[in-house]
Amino acid sequence: MELLYNSAIRALRAFGSAAVERVLAAHAATTSADHREALAEVLSGLGERDPRIFDILLRTLGEHVDLGAGLLVEYGDPASVPFLGAALDGAVLDEDDGLLANQDVIELAAAIEDLGGALTEEQERKVLTVQARRQAVRSMLGAIAGRGSSAPIGAGGSASADRRKKKLRKLRKQAQRRNRR
């Protein structure tokens, strides 16, 4: 199903500006949150700057922070940095110390930087707090697994981290190309 979903997104994006009005109309007509998110994903990658698209992406950020942050990066408009910053400022840290706890903080910080923004000192502290908590959990799990705290689980260049870095580089390049237009 994921393959079909991704193929449909790519196919609609290939239409570029020709698809804007129809995708906007479909977004307005649907009552399904899943469909709205999929259509927002299409809109973010059409390569068209339009205030209606920007508004939809900001609403997506408000409804689904991780997705919205990524779509705003893909859209590539630095005007979204203040909105991403406000979302990061408003993010309340989850006290659960899981490996993926507070992923919204990580995504928002990455999006701000990817779009050429800089984190405030308070935002940097928030990110460092999340990273420190995650490292503590990795160390604890490593100790449980008999690896000791010197070699925590997930340390080093994991394949998923490499994929994420590659995807972020691709999104940065796309944003840079759009900003040059």
pLDDT, tens digit, for every residue of 17-76?
999 999 999 999 999 999 999 999 999 999 999 999 999 999 999 999 999 999 999 999
pLDDT band with cut points at 50, 70 and 90 for residue 141: confident
CA 123 to chain centre: 16
- Average pLDDT of the chain is 86
* Per-residue pLDDT at 160 exceeds 60: no
Residue 109, amino acid: A
- Where in the chain are the domains? 77-180
121, pLDDT greater than 90: yes
- Over 90: is that where the pLDDT of 90 sits? yes
Mean pLDDT of 146-172: 54
Tell me if 70 sits within 8 A of 91, measured CB to CB: no
pLDDT digits (tens, 9 = 90+) for 2-13: 888 888 899 999
Band the pLDDT of 159: cuts 50, 70, 90. Answer: low
User: Residue 12: which residues within 8 A CB-CB, separation 6 or more?
Assistant: 19, 23, 42
pLDDT at 148: 53
pTM of the entire predicted model: 0.76
Cα(154)–Cα(158) distance, rounded to whole angstroms? 6
